[in-house]
């Protein structure tokens, strides 16, 4: 009997080999094993196993300690010999022990103190792999911490994207100014790029433009967003009431410093060359004026014209003849008085349209002061008999861009002016309108080469001030009888 009991005991111990706190994954699996009455093997997983599958040990180090204790207790219980009732009692006791242990562990705080953590760490050091050993420095095991999934934040829209979205809501942009009839050509890339943005253009010469803008301002109307205007007319307009400063990202620090107007209110985008214009079909290059003084020849009497738009002409020649950066007003005033006295020019308006038609038709032969850019366009593009008198220098005046202080479509206006000051916009504008661009990135320009052959351009922009323009305009209007 003793031998049989010994053999059964060894057999049961063999079946229970390895039983104890066995670590699998993240939980312990204490198991009670033995034989039933007729030699059938039974295996009972305690409730500790069931619940440890549901609650991860990463919740608290204290729970790990309780699970280990239950596992150790279960591994020490041997098969209870006796009837079925005895085995049931054993099963119930172990199950109750496991449930109570689990409830006690789960009911504790999930943020144990560092001292409790230290105990759990030391008590499991011998039987737990290092990957899950809890450090006494941190209250939460690093190896088993589950972080919430990281979601990448949507990239912030760029300033250009924000501006385009705002311009899309505005729907259109209104451009007023000395754009010329060719404006749709040099604005074509912009219009094609933003088909949802309507571009309204009103082409006006300098004086009517200034009058209209001022009149609407006084009436409280704000119908334009972007203006292109000659600089001399900007000096007679209340620009601080009309236009708003802008950072001009394509210009500031990239173009010559002289291209930026006062307080960033406007920029000078191109130079319009000015000079003596004549009908090359009637006057041969040999007989054409070679200097300003050649206009004083009596043979030109009744064959010349002067434009109302040329009110900067006295200032231009005062700069031409000035020395050491000064202005020779006396010489300029005397010259123009003689020109009007000798040639008796007819008075015309503007530099384009009807004036060009009259010149080409021979109604007059010489424009004593006109737009060399417009003349070059007639010659190069339209193949009409219009020529620029060849002198050692060519006068030039700047044209400006500015944004309305009360623009109804401010974002669209900034988008348009950014295009017009870009290398693409500046190049196309120069080629189509025959203007000398101030954008230094415009290279291999046929227009620049054309005027370089006519003479060096003298840009009078630095002399265009409110005081100088007032003096020049008063004298010119007096000559015209206005």
pLDDT in tens, 106-146: 554 444 444 334 343 444 434 444 443 333 333 444 444 55
Confidence at residue 93, expressed as pLDDT on a 0 to 100 scale: 62
Q: pLDDT grade, residue 83 (50/70/90)? A: low
- Asked whether the predicted pLDDT for residue 65 surpasses 80, the reply is no
Confidence at residue 338, expressed as pLDDT on a 0 to 100 scale: 97
Confidence at residue 11, expressed as pLDDT on a 0 to 100 scale: 45
Confidence at residue 53, expressed as pLDDT on a 0 to 100 scale: 39
More confident residue, 464 or 353: 464
Confidence at residue 90, expressed as pLDDT on a 0 to 100 scale: 57
More confident residue, 318 or 18: 318
298 vs 291: CA distance, rounded Å: 15
pLDDT above 90 covers what percent of the chain?
A: 46
The CA distances from residue 38 to 4, 7, 83, in Å, are 15, 16, 11
Q: At what angle do helices 61-76 and 47-54 cross, to 10 degrees?
A: 160
- Asked whether the predicted pLDDT for residue 433 surpasses 50, the reply is yes
Q: pLDDT grade, residue 169 (50/70/90)? A: very high
pLDDT in tens, 308-361: 989 999 999 999 999 988 999 999 999 999 999 999 999 998 887 788 889 999
- Mean pLDDT for the chain overall: 76
Confidence at residue 255, expressed as pLDDT on a 0 to 100 scale: 95
Q: Please report the domains of the chain, with CATH numbers, ordered by start residue.
A: 2-128 (no CATH), 160-271+397-453 (3.40.190.10), 272-394 (3.40.190.10)
The CA distances from residue 105 to 72, 73, 479, in Å, are 16, 16, 107
Confidence at residue 458, expressed as pLDDT on a 0 to 100 scale: 85
- Asked whether the predicted pLDDT for residue 102 surpasses 60, the reply is no
Q: Is the pTM of this model over 0.95?
A: no
Confidence at residue 413, expressed as pLDDT on a 0 to 100 scale: 97
Confidence at residue 199, expressed as pLDDT on a 0 to 100 scale: 96
Beta strands 456-459 and 41-45, pairing class? unpaired
135-144, 183-192, 216-225, 339-348: range with lowest mean pLDDT:
135-144
Confidence at residue 364, expressed as pLDDT on a 0 to 100 scale: 94
Confidence at residue 236, expressed as pLDDT on a 0 to 100 scale: 86
- Asked whether the predicted pLDDT for residue 251 surpasses 90, the reply is yes
């Amino acid at each position: 009997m003793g031998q049989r009991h010994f053999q059964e005991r060894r057999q049961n111990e063999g079946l229970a080999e390895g039983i104890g706190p066995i670590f699998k994954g993240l939980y312990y699996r204490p198991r009670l094993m033995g034989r039933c009455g007729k030699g059938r093997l039974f295996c009972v997983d305690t409730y500790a196993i069931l619940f440890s599958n549901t609650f991860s040990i990463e919740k608290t180090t204290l729970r790990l300690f309780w699970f280990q204790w239950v596992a150790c207790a279960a591994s020490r219980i041997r098969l209870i010999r006796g009837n079925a009732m005895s085995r049931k009692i054993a099963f119930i006791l172990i199950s109750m022990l496991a449930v109570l242990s689990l409830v006690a562990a789960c009911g504790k705080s999930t943020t144990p103190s560092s001292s409790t953590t230290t105990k759990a760490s030391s008590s499991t050091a011998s039987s737990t792999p290092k990957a899950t050993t809890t450090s006494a420095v941190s209250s939460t095991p690093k190896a088993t911490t589950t972080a919430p999934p990281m979601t990448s934040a949507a990239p912030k829209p760029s300033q250009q994207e924000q501006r385009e979205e705002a311009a899309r809501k505005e729907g259109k942009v209104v451009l007023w100014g000395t754009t010329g009839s060719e404006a749709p050509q040099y604005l074509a890339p912009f219009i094609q790029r933003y088909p949802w943005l309507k571009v309204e253009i009103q082409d006006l010469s300098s004086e009517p433009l200034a009058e209209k803008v001022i009149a609407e301002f006084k009436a409280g109307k704000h119908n334009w967003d972007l203006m292109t205007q000659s600089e001399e007319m900007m000096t007679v307009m209340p620009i601080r009431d009309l236009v708003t400063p802008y950072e001009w990202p394509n210009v500031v620090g990239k173009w010559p410093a002289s291209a930026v107007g006062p307080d960033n209110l406007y920029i000078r985008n191109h130079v319009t060359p000015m000079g003596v214009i004549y009908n090359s079909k009637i006057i041969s290059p040999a007989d054409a004026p070679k200097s300003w003084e050649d206009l004083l020849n009596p043979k030109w009497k009744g064959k010349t014209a002067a434009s109302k738009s040329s009110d900067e002409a006295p200032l231009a020649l005062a700069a031409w003849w000035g020395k050491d950066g000064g202005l020779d007003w006396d010489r300029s005033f005397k010259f123009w008085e003689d020109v009007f006295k000798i040639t008796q020019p007819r008075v015309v308006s503007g530099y384009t349209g009807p004036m060009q038609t009259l010149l080409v038709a021979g109604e007059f032969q010489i424009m004593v002061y006109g737009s060399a850019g417009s003349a070059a366009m007639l010659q190069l593009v339209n193949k009409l008999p219009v020529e620029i008198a060849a002198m050692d220098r060519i006068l030039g005046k700047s044209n400006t861009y500015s944004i309305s202080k009360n623009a109804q479509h401010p974002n669209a206006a900034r988008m348009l002016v950014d295009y017009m000051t870009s290398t693409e916009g500046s190049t196309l504008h120069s080629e189509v309108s025959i203007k000398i661009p101030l954008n230094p990135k415009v290279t291999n320009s046929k227009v620049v080469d054309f005027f370089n052959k006519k003479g060096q351009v003298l840009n009078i922009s630095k002399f265009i001030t409110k005081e100088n323009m007032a003096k020049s305009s008063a004298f010119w209007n007096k000559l015209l009888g206005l």
